[in-house]
Structure 1
Amino acid sequence: MPAASSIKVMVADDQLTIRALVRGGLQQLGFKDIDEAPDGEEALRQLIVKPVQLIISDYNMPKLDGLNLLRAVRSHEPIKKTAFIMLTGRADKELVQKAVQYGVNNYLVKPFTITTLKEKIEAVFGPLT
């Protein structure tokens, strides 16, 4: 049972409002160490320098989308075991199947509530204390 405050998080989304919503939800759940990136390319650069335990990434982003960010994370040894939650406005089967094939831990459909965010994170880490 990890404490939310001990889990480092990267939020990657090209929409500032979504990043702010995710950050706000995470802070309400007790997360303190939260980094942000406006696209998958920037997220990957930051992750290589400062690894985290959880990545929450939008699917649809410029430069490097969420699926390719997931593939890059899974192929980079130091961060390949990082928990990855895909954030998407589309819950289509094909996307979910591809994400599962590439090793996603969970996915979160927009719009989401703090309760849903917590459930998705706890499904990966177990109950947050």
Structure 2
Amino acid sequence: MPAASAIRALIVDDQLTSRALIRDGLQQLGIQDIEMAADGEQGLKVMMQKPAHLIISDLNMPKLDGLGFLRAVRANPPTKNAAFIMLTGRGDREFIEKAVKCGVNNYLVKPFTMPSLRGAIEAVLGRLK
């Protein structure tokens, strides 16, 4: 992947505070092109209009949860190759296996740190420049 400044990111989380924390973290990493959505339905609309390279999505959200959003992204040819990182309060094996079957690229357990956010992104996209 090119420089962090070339990455278009989408943050999908029903908690405004979480969206802001993730946005701030991405900006610290050099990612500036950031869209945000409050649930999977909004996230899907954003992806249809302006596909992102990187999606960071919460698991538990109203309307369309993270797994449903992930399935929809993977089912749509223009968006199916986006890197998808799931945020969850759960790190249990059952959830991880289900998310992997749906096509998740990586996951982060809340609360996360800046080094863990960077690590999750770099594991999917390669080293950020």
After TM superposition, the score normalised by the length of structure 1 is: 0.98
For residue 21 of structure 2, what is the aligned residue in structure 1? 21
For residue 123 of structure 1, what is the aligned residue in structure 2? 123
1:92, distance to aligned residue in structure 2 (A): 1.3
Aligned length: 129
Gapped regions of structure 1 (runs ≥ 5): none
Query: CA offsets, 1:74-127, max 9 Å, x none?
Result: 000111011100000111111110110011000011000111000000000111
Gapped regions of structure 2 (runs ≥ 5): none
For residue 91 of structure 1, what is the aligned residue in structure 2? 91
For residue 43 of structure 1, what is the aligned residue in structure 2? 43
SS in 1 for 2:78: helix
1:2, distance to aligned residue in structure 2 (A): 2.1
Answer whether contact 1:9 1:33 (CA < 8 A) is retained.
Answer: yes
Answer whether contact 1:60 1:88 (CA < 8 A) is retained.
Answer: yes
Give the Cα–Cα distance (whole angstroms) in 1 for the partners of residues 11 and 2 of structure 2: 19
% identity of equivalent residues: 63
For residue 79 of structure 2, what is the aligned residue in structure 1? 79
SS in 2 for 1:31: coil
Answer whether contact 1:2 1:125 (CA < 8 A) is retained.
Answer: no
SS in 2 for 1:124: helix
After TM superposition, the score normalised by the length of structure 2 is: 0.98
Q: What is the letter of the counterpart of residue 52 of structure 2?
A: V
Give the Cα–Cα distance (whole angstroms) in 1 for the partners of residues 47 and 123 of structure 2: 22
For residue 113 of structure 1, what is the aligned residue in structure 2? 113
- Report runs of 4+ in structure 1 exceeding 3 Å deviation: none
CA RMSD in angstroms, aligned pairs only? 0.6
Q: What is the letter of the counterpart of residue 122 of structure 2?
A: E
